[in-house]
Structure 1
């Protein structure tokens, strides 16, 4: 399995075959500008190939829900998964963030990274 680690100013990204896994820094606001950087990275790495994105929330940070509008319009981004062991983080992603993701592609929330990876692979 191809694995590549990339350090960004707002967190660490790991590329696994056709999946981007991001662990963002404690206390940041993940906003539209940060999301553009991730989408550009996806475009650069995967070109036109389908891929999935996993937000592995090991740290506490805020997400601007506006990021989902642009993500939903990225044709080859086929699935977004949020992973957290924290029940409140999962609930917030499921009940709030999901409402902003208005795309034909999938958005799901998981407790473990393994579950998210398996699910993403069924979507791409």
Structure 2
């Protein structure tokens, strides 16, 4: 399946197989409202099937950790991966953001998309 791009007001989302990949815009605040749009999109695209989410952090932006409390309640969302080449971004996701996600075994941080894809496929 070829990746399909969906433009949103806060960034771009791509679908590939049963994975939703987001590249969010520089400087935004990714909050609960924005996250709900992604969760709704996941439900609409994957129609009740299990899927994973990759946050491909090529830009710098703030994340409200409360989004993970909401995401943990999404029935079909089975894994979240954060991908960044920036060590500080990865560390922040590992130390702070991961604590807010209910199932720590389903939230991981990676340096490359390839690593994230391989891990997510083991979870869904």
After TM superposition, the score normalised by the length of structure 2 is 0.97
Correspondence for 1:28: 28
3-state DSSP of counterpart to 1:68: helix
Alignment partners' CA distance in 1, 2:104 and 2:9: 30
CA contact (8 A) 1:55 1:82 kept: yes
3-state DSSP of counterpart to 1:78: strand
3-state DSSP of counterpart to 1:20: strand
3-state DSSP of counterpart to 2:26: coil
Alignment partners' CA distance in 1, 2:32 and 2:48: 22
The answer to whether 1:9 aligns with 2:17 is no
Segments of 5+ residues of structure 2 without an aligned counterpart are: none
3-state DSSP of counterpart to 1:21: strand
After TM superposition, the score normalised by the length of structure 1 is 0.97
CA contact (8 A) 1:18 1:46 kept: yes
**Total equivalences in the alignment:** 124
3-state DSSP of counterpart to 1:52: strand
CA contact (8 A) 2:98 2:104 kept: no
Cα distance change, pair 71–105 in 1 and its aligned pair in 2 (3 A): farther
Segments of 5+ residues of structure 1 without an aligned counterpart are: none
Correspondence for 1:74: 74
